[in-house]
Amino acid sequence: MKAVTITDIAKALNLSTSTVSRALKSSYKISEETQQKVKEYAAKYNYRPNLLAQGLKSMGSRSIGVILCAIPNSFFAEVLNGIEFIAASNNYHIIITQSHESYEKELNNLEQLLWKSVDGLLVSLSCETCDVEHFRNAQSEGTPVVFFDRVTNLIDTHTVVADNAKGTYEGTVHLIKSGCKRIAHITSAPNVSISKERLAGYIQALKEFHLPVREEYIKYCNHGGMISDEVEKAVNELLVLDETPDAILTASDRITIECFAMLKKRNIKIPGDIALTGFSNFSAPQLFNPALTTLKQPAFEMGKVATGLLLQLIENKRLPKDFEKRVLPIELHIRESTVRSQM
């Protein structure tokens, strides 16, 4: 009942293990006849090469390490779906670790993954991460890294992101055209790439329509909405302003949900008092009350593209001269939460 090995085949056919090994991969100079015999026997007894042994020789594991902040997050869950899809069809498996927005955990996860000799890394940085030296080291010691979603420009490698600036630009323009004039923006930690890009799109739209950019309308949640107190604080600070906003644009799944819940808890009418839209990959924003206008990222696609690029790096060994920055489109889905018929 034990798994059949190359040695078993060799004994059974009265050959050496080297011949069997070479016959199986049709390499070197092995006679047609021997190849046939070996392959038949292997097929018959359902031979599967031992991956640990292969790994030990090649110092590879046919595995990809993934670092992201949390699995139970609509966006990342979809990304994982895409990653698994491409990885599985190329016979790699994925090892998923969660940073929970903590720099320290991210560091620890990286160490664990390298220890497990993953062949490559797919990373979305934690909110706390400023220093990316650890990833640079990983790369320079031979483990390629591809960043997605929350990326860094301090490391030369492939990156895959959504068109964040365009997303917030279009969201903001939509709000303006719906009649909103005092648009606030609640976003993630100021150091992560997505926050900067999303802020830029928001500002660009305001300027284009000659609306003032007010510091007090821009709020940061240093843990991306994972800590609801942070979102609550942001919302509170907006609501006590002399001129309260008439719209809020949120920059992540969790922030959107939390913000929505808080406005409802305070009995603020959406969109009557405050219009609301934001980034969200929830499966059913149309069922909300009111149905939520969302900026939806191509999460599944992002996972697929990032994994494809990583596999290229892994299998080419040598790092290419110029790296790619893939930018995927964001979809604006207009629903009730931003349609102000009463204006």
Partner DNA sequence: TTTATTTGTGCAAACGTGTGCACACATTAC
Partner DNA sequence: GTAATGTGTGCACACGTTTGCACAAATAAA
Binding stretches for its own copies (CB under 8 A): 1, 48, 50-53, 55-56, 59, 61, 70-74, 77-78, 80-81, 84, 88, 93-98, 112, 115-117, 141, 257, 260-261, 264, 282-284, 286-291
The residue among 201 and 290 lying less far from its own copies, judged by its C-beta, is 290
Closer residue to its own copies (CB): 199 or 274: 274
236 binds, among its own copies, DNA, none (CB under 5 to 8 A by kind): none
Binding partner of residue 207 among DNA, its own copies, none, CB under 5 to 8 Å per kind?
A: none
Closer to its own copies by Cβ: residue 62 or 214: 62
317 binds DNA (CB under 7 A): no
Q: Of DNA, its own copies, none, which one sits near residue 5, judging by CB under 5 to 8 A according to partner kind?
A: DNA
Query: Considering the rule CB under 7 A, would residue 244 count as an interface residue with DNA?
Result: no
Within 136-255, strands assigned E span 145-148, 159-162, 183-187, 218-220, 247-250
Per-residue CA distances from 198 to 201, 232, 313, 329 (Å)? 5, 21, 29, 13
241 CA to centre of own chain: 35
User: How many Å apart are CA 121 and CA 64, to the nearest integer?
Assistant: 6
| Distance separating the N- and C-terminal Cα atoms of the chain | 75
Residue 339 interacting entry, from DNA, its own copies, none, C-beta within 5 to 8 Å by type: none
> Of its own copies, DNA, none, which one does residue 26 interact with (CB within 5 to 8 Å by kind)?
none
Within 53-82, the residues that bind DNA by CB under 7 A are: 53-54, 56-59
Provide DSSP, 228-246: HHHHHHHHHHHHTSSS--S
- Report d(CA 38, CA 17) in Å as an integer: 11
Report the residue number, 19 or 178, with the smaller CB distance to DNA.
19
5 binds DNA (CB under 7 A): yes
Window 28-57: contact mask with DNA (x via CB under 7 A): xxxxxxx------------xxxx--xx-xx
Shortest separation between residue 317's beta carbon and DNA, angstroms? 13
Q: Which of 236, 293, 228, 294 is nearest to 268 (CA)?
A: 236
> Which region, left, alpha or beta, applies to residue 115 given φ > 0 means left and ψ of -120 to 50 means alpha?
alpha
Residue 288 binding: pick among DNA, its own copies, none (C-beta 5-8 Å cut-off by kind):
its own copies
Of the candidates 88, 120, 124, 149, which has an alpha carbon nearest to the alpha carbon of residue 311?
120
Picking from 104, 107, 2, the residue whose alpha carbon sits closest to that of residue 45 is 2
Residue 113's Cβ-side half-sphere holds a number of Cα atoms within 13 Å equal to 33
Minimum gap (Å) between residue 1 Cβ and DNA: 13
Question: Which residues are at the interface with DNA (CB under 7 A)?
Answer: 2-3, 5-7, 14-19, 21-22, 24-25, 27-34, 47-50, 53-54, 56-59
